[in-house]
Amino acid sequence: MKIFLVEDNEELNHYMTEALTKIGYKVVSCIGNNFDEAFNIVEEYFDLYLIDINLPTLNGLELVKRIKAKRATSKVFIISGDDNINTILKAYDLGCDDYIKKPFDLREIVVKIDLKFQEKLENKVKISDDCFYDKKKKLLFHNGKIVTLTNKESILLNILVVNLGQIVSNETIEKAVWEKKSSNGHLRQLVSKLKKTMPCENIIHNHSSQGYGIII
């Protein structure tokens, strides 16, 4: 899991970065008085953004708004000493997923990460470094953005992901996509189209004319 941390307290920033890294998360932190890079980092995908909204040169709530507009699948946790109810309500209105008041115990953040991502992780299938498939939503994501597929492409990809690591017979795929046996030419064309549409590496393999499978 990739986490981006925005915290101007240098000691707290280092502590959180080190502790979360030891747990196994990949953490990129923004520290210092110049937080312009925090707005630029929205262009890079992170699973979770941890943001202190009370910063000297940055409107933290505006950053939350930008992240949610750009990265709808990412989670945003606000960490702040501001306990004003209007600020809290505004943060949730902009799409923040949790509001953690300072001072806090880091274990609280870890527990909330586990709770927020439990369902997501159960349904999330990583099929390449940049691509994952959400089995519940039946959607393909590349760097956090939805990849648009046709209905038939979506059905084909779903049956391959559900049977990840296995060969799915041509007959099984044809029945799922066309609800009847189709010509091998139609199936080959559909697989070729899906491969071209998918921005991730070529992971769909043909197995001696028996069928197709995703082997990762």
SS3 143: coil
Q: What is the DSSP letter of 164?
A: T
Q: CA nearest 154: which of 185, 123, 176?
A: 176
For domain 127-214, give its CATH number from 3.40.1670.10, 1.20.1250.20, 1.10.10.10, 1.10.3720.10.
Answer: 1.10.10.10
- Residue 195 pLDDT: 92
What is the CATH number assigned to the segment(s) 2-122? Answer: 3.40.50.2300
Number of CB atoms found within 10 A of residue 106's CB? 13
Q: Where in the chain is the domain with CATH 3.40.50.2300?
A: 2-122
Question: Within the chain, which residues score under 50 in pLDDT?
Answer: none
- Residue 122 pLDDT: 66
Q: Where in the chain is the domain with CATH 1.10.10.10?
A: 127-214
Amino acid at 3: I
- Residue 200 pLDDT: 80
- Residue 184 pLDDT: 65
Distance of CA 210 to the CA centre of its chain: 33
- Residue 100 pLDDT: 93
- Residue 62 pLDDT: 85
- Residue 169 pLDDT: 93
Q: What are phi and psi of 60, to 5 degrees?
A: -60, -35
Residues 6+ apart with CB under 8 A from 184: 170, 209
CA distances from residue 128 to 35, 75, 124, 142 in whole angstroms, order as listed: 31, 21, 12, 9
pLDDT tens figures, 163-182: 988 999 999 999 999 987 76
